[in-house]
A and B are shown apart, each in its own frame.
Chain A
């Protein structure tokens, strides 16, 4: 029987309200709690806006200034030296590439050492893992600023910054990949009397290598983004050109550099997606010899 509003008698309505009070009205404490949550949120927002000095006048002035900036970006131009911009972009890309490569190589031994099932000493494990956390807790831009002081301006500082920050991240990811690897294969290899290094090479590595490569590619994608801004602190790449143009208020060139960064990041994302699909995830289950071809 379908219940419609018209078919319910007032007595039935009273009965329903008595039996299912929560379907009609929520108890006062729930309403009060909801009010409290919303007021706390509003108070928080208000406090933050006051602390950020976000007076309506300031916001308004800022927005109109932003409007001027945005309209000055159209049409974007390359400025006096387009080749310099492209060279700087290439420098950013190569910084990301070399930095990721260095980190991926350094992270392999560190990741193996940080895996609980390879070195079961928990003190060692804990100390090493917290070191990874500390290193990756510091952003590449901070490392870049430090490296610029330590080894001088230029792409070396940027490459080292990316490499350092990523060694922490990748070592952690590699260690986790090794820990979650199926131990059966390693035990099988060990049962043949193989030594520790052989067990790692034949029992563990084939399982974790695709994960490692995939993670390294992800890091390369995110490093491409980082590498475009490291130049802001003088660590090489397109970021230097960008902050230079912003300081000089040459907004049309700023617009063009932002477009270049966005297009490059999109291209690298696409490329890395393609490589992952084609070689790492797609190739995993391909049999070496197809039986229908062999017979």
Chain B
């Protein structure tokens, strides 16, 4: 403290006082945050009954489950074992194809629906407030309800099969894409729109020739991302009977066909990873070209 006393001027003292006060204040805020957080954790544990002990007790069962899914493969009969493991390969590949079709078709429908709704849901393009408001709420409703819930309801209405899954994903895609498209629309330069309006262009002409050229890169990026998302979703809507590989996976897990579970999951994860990489390459090519 001897070194400090040489600097012991009123200004320094005031600064240090201020510094300590703020540190105390900060410590108090941190303490309150930590207490609230701990209370949340304890409360959550009480509600769900999820305690570290019960989780740890469950882990051996989990290890056992995964051990069961490992196929019996010996080096001597390697290819025969693989063939036995993937005996249903072509059947599963067909179902995986179904899942991909569901995802692609739903994305396509989502793009069309989102195009129809996003322009009227953009503040700067739609001056009619009731239509703007209605479009916004419609998009919100479509994307807030989970896909699986739509699938559950559509399976009742349209029957079991890929049609229900396709429709469920379509509704959700329209909502999700519509909102993102509307955000892109709201960030455009308005001068081309004004120019066309000045030249006597009607609403559709203004959208087609002044807005669409500006928003296309943003749309492309969001659409590719949506296709990835839909592929994952298409795989799981099958759980509630909406077709594709998910339905087969559900059956395999429910009937404890352990080796089928691992075989299908490997196919599914490989497909998802390959398509993610493809869409990344496509995005770089499409958007990289726009920039240059």
Interface of A toward B, CB cutoff 8 Å: 41, 44-45, 48, 51-54, 58-59, 62-63, 65-66, 69, 90-91, 93-95, 97-98, 101, 133-134, 137-139, 141-142, 145-147, 149-152, 154-156, 159-160, 225, 228-229, 232-233, 236, 242-243, 246, 249, 254, 258, 261-262, 265-266, 288-289, 293-295
Contacts and interface: CB of A to CB of B under 8 A. Distances in A.
B73 to A, nearest CB: 19
Contacts of B243: 52
A66 B144 contact: no
A97 B40 contact: yes
Given A94-B48, A137-B272, A139-B232, A150 B61 contact: yes
A95 to B, nearest CB: 6
Contacts of A228: 146
B195 interface: no
Contacts of B58: 150-152, 156, 160
Contacts of A141: 148, 236, 239
B49 interface: yes
B47 interface: yes
Interface string B29-48: 00000000000110111011
Contacts of A66: 153-154, 157-158
B43 A94 contact: yes
B48 A233 contact: no
Given A51-B98, A69-B153, A147-B62, A232 B239 contact: yes
Contacts of A95: 48, 50
Interface of B: 11, 14-15, 18-19, 22, 26, 40-41, 43-45, 47-50, 54-55, 58, 61-62, 64-65, 98, 101-102, 104-105, 108, 141, 144-146, 148-149, 152-154, 156-159, 161-163, 166, 232-233, 235-236, 239-240, 243, 249-250, 253-254, 256, 261, 265, 268-269, 272-273, 276
Contacts of B40: 97
B50 to A, nearest CB: 5
B82 to A, nearest CB: 19
Given A229-B146, A229-B149, 18 more contacts: A52-B166, A53-B162, A58-B158, A58-B163, A66-B154, A69-B153, A98-B44, A141-B236, A141-B239, A142-B235, A156-B49, A243-B240, A246-B156, A261-B149, A262-B141, A262-B144, A289-B15, A295-B11
Contact of B162 (A52, A98, A288, A294): A52
Given A94-B44, A150-B61, A294-B18, A145 B253 contact: yes
B250 A138 contact: no
Contacts of A160: 55, 58, 62
Given A65-B157, A101-B41, A151 B273 contact: no
A247 to B, nearest CB: 9
A159 B44 CA distance: 11
B146 A58 contact: no
| Chief secondary structure at chain B's binding surface | helix
A145 B239 contact: yes
A7 to B, nearest CB: 17
A201 B201 CA distance: 61
Contact of A266 (B14, B104, B144, B269): B144
A69 B55 contact: no
Contacts of A54: 163, 166
A108 to B, nearest CB: 16
Given A65-B157, A149-B253, A155 B48 contact: yes
A87 B40 CA distance: 16
A295 B64 CA distance: 67
Chain A to chain B: the 7 pairs with minimum beta-carbon distance, closest first: A62-B158, A151-B58, A94-B44, A155-B48, A150-B65, A65-B157, A66-B157
Contacts of B146: 225, 228-229, 261
A242 B49 contact: no
A4 to B, nearest CB: 12
Given A52-B163, A146-B65, A289-B18, A91 B148 contact: no
A225 B146 CA distance: 7
A145 B50 contact: no
A13 B194 CA distance: 28
B256 A149 contact: yes
A98 B50 contact: yes
A233 B162 CA distance: 19
A62 to B, nearest CB: 4
A65 B158 contact: yes
A246 B273 contact: no
Contacts of B162: 51-53
A145 B74 CA distance: 29
A48 B144 contact: no
Contacts of B235: 139, 142
Contacts of A156: 48-50, 54-55, 58
A169 to B, nearest CB: 12
A151 B61 contact: yes
A289 B152 contact: no
